[in-house]
Amino acid sequence: MQIKSGWIAEAKKVNSPNFEDRPLNTSIDLVVIHCISLPPGEFGTKNIDDFFLNKLDISKHEYFKEISGLKVSSHFLIERTGNLKQFVSIDKKAWHAGVSSFKNRENCNDFSIGIELEGTDDSVYEKNQYNTLIKLVISLMRKYPNITKERVVGHSEIAPKRKTDPGIKFDWDYIKSKI
């Protein structure tokens, strides 16, 4: 995959307003893998896009009332089909990690790239998703040499008391063997 001015050329570009500048002199050296589905357990909707664009119609599902008003984003979303969307330039700070810490460094959003997989904490991910994820992570590792296999982590690792994603069925061994 080719990176041009902070954007992956092969990704569908969907501009989220939920981002900000990274702190000055911040080295990008972490990839955080998440999972999301809206409503929980339903795939193939456009609700994730709407959520990251602050356009989620809360009348569509009771769960949406719980998350209304949240302003979040991720750099990337990999849909069940393997399609890749990019919401925030990798040069900018997306709002994906929340309260987080990695190796005694707080505020992981400052120095990480967030990748959402369409799924749940207990769903099996699709081969197409893994294929896209591998290509994306390899491209990010080439651009940012400080991102190593050990610095590709789950949301659960940087926020263990709050988060469990990408979940128990995410195949870490497979991913780590391919990147």
- Give catalytic residue positions: 116
Token representation of residue 122: 């207990």
Long-range contacts, stretch 19-24, CB < 8 angstroms, 24+ apart: 19/73, 19/88, 19/89, 19/92, 19/93, 19/94, 19/95, 20/92, 20/93, 21/92, 21/93, 22/91, 22/92, 22/93, 22/110, 22/111, 23/110
Task: For residue 116, give the H/E element and its range.
Answer: strand 112-118
